[in-house]
Amino acid sequence: MMSVYFFFACLVFVVLRFDANAESFNNPENKISYYLHPDAGLNISQLLEKYGYPLETHVIQTEDGYLLSVHRIANGHQYYSNSPKVPVLLVHGLMSQSTDFVNAGPGRSLSYLLADEGYDVWLLNCRGNTHSRRHITLDPDKDKSKFWDFSWHEMGKYDLPNTIDYILNATNQESLFYIGHSQGTTTFFVMASLLPEYNKKIRHASLLGPAALFSNNMDIKYRTMAKFHKELKLASLIFNVHEFLRHSEFYLDVVKTLCLEGQETYDLCKALYTIGAGYSPTEFNMTILPVIASNSPSGFAVKQGFHYFQLFLNGGLFRQYDYGSIVNLVKYGASKPPNYNLSSISAPVTLHYAKEDQCVDYKDVEIIETLLPNGIKRMVPEIHFTHLDFLWGNNVKSLIYDYMLDEMEKYQ
Ligand SMILES: *[C@@H]1O[C@H](CO)[C@@H](O)[C@H](O)[C@H]1NC(C)=O
Ligand SMILES: *[C@@H]1O[C@H](CO)[C@@H](O)[C@H](O)[C@H]1NC(C)=O
Ligand SMILES: *[C@@H]1O[C@H](CO)[C@@H](O)[C@H](O)[C@H]1NC(C)=O
Ligand SMILES: *[C@@H]1O[C@H](CO)[C@@H](O)[C@H](O)[C@H]1NC(C)=O
């Protein structure tokens, strides 16, 4: 979650330092011999076209007026059949977007594996990211404080159910598979607890790095940010900052300048990434970093971050946004925000989690499992596995995806 932010913040710092004292910094001759992944700079349309998977883009209007782009891979490479395909909805994490489910390439990224197995793959872009930075009346730049007044609560309340209804109608199906990563699991928990009628529309949910409870998370970065989140919130009001880490070409430029193998700064870049996202010697592969940075980070509302920080500090509750007791009274009719009731989630759920995930502590996931009436947990059988390895780990297919695909088959 916040780790990518931390990584990029560190990189920006390093770039600014280098810019000040290194003349050769932007000298193209210095870059020539370094290996740059051929997919760097491509967006989702270009990636899918390159690998021969047809892409459809659907625009879904939410009940509260946001316009979401949903990317669909209706036909896998190796699968041609007239039988109706079961839809599967993939939902990304904080500051991420649809491309993060394809950018590790065919045979490896989840979208391709699902398409090759014959699933009808739908990749949601939640409100506010690069592909869904639109609203029927609000302008994200001119009406900042209104457009960006949302957390993952609104994604769970509107983006997910509205998208699910759209997909079920478009495909003439009664239910679909759900796969979420990180914040894409938080939004699932919000929807399935707030709108219990949606549980029967979920055949099965695979949740990667399930993020709802944080009382056992002692990570010093997150704890520190959470501790000062009220000050951060005040600063965001004073400086009128409501959106954070919007995508720009700058991120790819930074990675190309500092993070390619052979560059002097490679080890530094790797160390920063490690501090930000955790250490997994066997899983993380720096060669893919330029491909990731081509589309992510992808922007989010600061309120999403503040809502997470509240969860770090509230003693283990999964609950709605805390506006302070007076506003809470007006909004919720009580001085404390209501809890989301995880026990009312009846859909079958598998929680995939990792022992050393810095963003989501395994003990918190194990509590979630005890609360879900129809949930099981599966710890990744690899000790060094981080929150981002669920998307890009070298061995994620054999460690998780193969198991997931087998399990989904049972719910066909
Ligand atoms: C990807 O880039 C191409 C070329 O600039 C553009 O036509 C296309 O709309 C982009 N796709 C997305 C999903 O942004
Ligand atoms: C359902 O799908 C049909 C076409 O498949 C479309 O004409 C109709 O408007 C859709 N209804 C809703 C509520 O989205
Ligand atoms: C890292 O990724 C590249 C391609 O992106 C691949 O060729 C290489 O084998 C990977 N390294 C490991 C250790 O898996
Ligand atoms: C949560 O949902 C469960 C199952 O529907 C129900 O038994 C329980 O009373 C609910 N808890 C609260 C606090 O509403």
Catalytic residue selected from 98, 151, 182, 298: 182
Number of the ligand closest to the Cα of 99: 1
The CATH code for residues 2-84+93-177+211-340 is: 3.40.50.1820
Cis peptide leading into residue 297 (ω within 30°)? yes
Number of the ligand closest to the Cα of 170: 2
Q: Is 170 in the pocket of ligand 2 (CB under 6 A)?
A: yes
Cβ within 8 Å of residue 5, ≥6 positions away: 95, 244, 245, 276, 297
Q: Whose CA is nearest to atom 1 of ligand 2?
A: 169
Per-residue model confidence (pLDDT) at position 83:
62
Mean pLDDT of the chain: 90
Q: Is 169 in the pocket of ligand 2 (CB under 6 A)?
A: yes
Average pLDDT over residues 320-344: 97
Give the pair of three-digit tokens for residue 11: 């990189």
Q: Is 33 in the pocket of ligand 2 (CB under 6 A)?
A: no
> CA quadruple 9, 13, 18, 19: dihedral positive or negative?
positive
Query: What are the C-alpha distances in Å from 141 to residues 57, 69, 134, 260, 383?
Result: 24, 19, 10, 34, 43
> Is pLDDT at 12 greater than 70 in this prediction?
no
Per-residue model confidence (pLDDT) at position 77:
62
User: Which pLDDT tens digit goes with each residue over 15-68?
Assistant: 444 443 344 445 555 545 688 999 999 999 999 999 999 999 999 999 999 999
Q: How many Å lie between the centroid of ligand 4 and the Cα of residue 365?
A: 19
Split at pLDDT 50, 70, 90, the class of 352 is: very high
Q: How many Å lie between the centroid of ligand 4 and the Cα of residue 1?
A: 29
Query: Quick check: is 96 catalytic?
Result: no
For the entire predicted model, the pTM comes to: 0.92
In 3D, which of 67, 247, 93 has the Cα closest to residue 159? 67
Q: Mean pLDDT lowest for which of 4-18, 42-56, 306-320?
A: 4-18
Split at pLDDT 50, 70, 90, the class of 6 is: low
Q: How many CB atoms lie within 10 A of CB 55?
A: 17
Q: What percent of the chain has pLDDT over 90?
A: 73
User: Which pLDDT tens digit goes with each residue over 67-102?
Assistant: 999 999 987 665 555 566 899 999 999 999 999 999
| Residue 86 and residue 120 in contact, taking contact as beta carbons nearer than 8 Å | yes
Per-residue model confidence (pLDDT) at position 19:
43
Q: Is 43 in the pocket of ligand 1 (CB under 6 A)?
A: yes
Query: Which tops the pLDDT comparison, 267 or 303?
Result: 303
> Is pLDDT at 361 greater than 70 in this prediction?
yes
Catalytic residue selected from 92, 153, 352, 387: 387
Per-residue model confidence (pLDDT) at position 32:
55
Per-residue model confidence (pLDDT) at position 383:
87
Per-residue model confidence (pLDDT) at position 327:
97
In 3D, which of 326, 347, 329 has the Cα closest to residue 338? 329
Q: What percent of the chain has pLDDT over 70?
A: 90
> Is pLDDT at 394 greater than 60 in this prediction?
yes
Q: How many Å lie between the centroid of ligand 4 and the Cα of residue 343?
A: 6
Query: Quick check: is 92 catalytic?
Result: no
In 3D, which of 127, 145, 129 has the Cα closest to residue 237? 145
Distance CA 394, CA 284 (A): 6
Distance CA 364, CA 305 (A): 19
Q: How many Å lie between the centroid of ligand 3 and the Cα of residue 393?
A: 10
Among 255, 289, 394, residue to substitute to test ligand 3 (most atoms within 8 Å of Cβ): 394
Per-residue model confidence (pLDDT) at position 69:
98
> Is pLDDT at 3 greater than 90 in this prediction?
no
User: Which pLDDT tens digit goes with each residue over 211-260?
Assistant: 999 999 999 989 999 999 999 999 998 998 999 988 888 888 888 888 88
Per-residue model confidence (pLDDT) at position 23:
40
Per-residue model confidence (pLDDT) at position 16:
46
User: Which pLDDT tens digit goes with each residue over 249-300?
Assistant: 888 888 888 888 888 888 888 888 888 778 888 888 889 999 999 998 899 9
Per-residue model confidence (pLDDT) at position 291:
95
Q: Whose CA is nearest to atom 14 of ligand 4?
A: 341
Query: Which tops the pLDDT comparison, 269 or 396?
Result: 396
Can you give the residue ranges of every domain in the chain? 2-84+93-177+211-340
Place of tokens 């996202």: 277
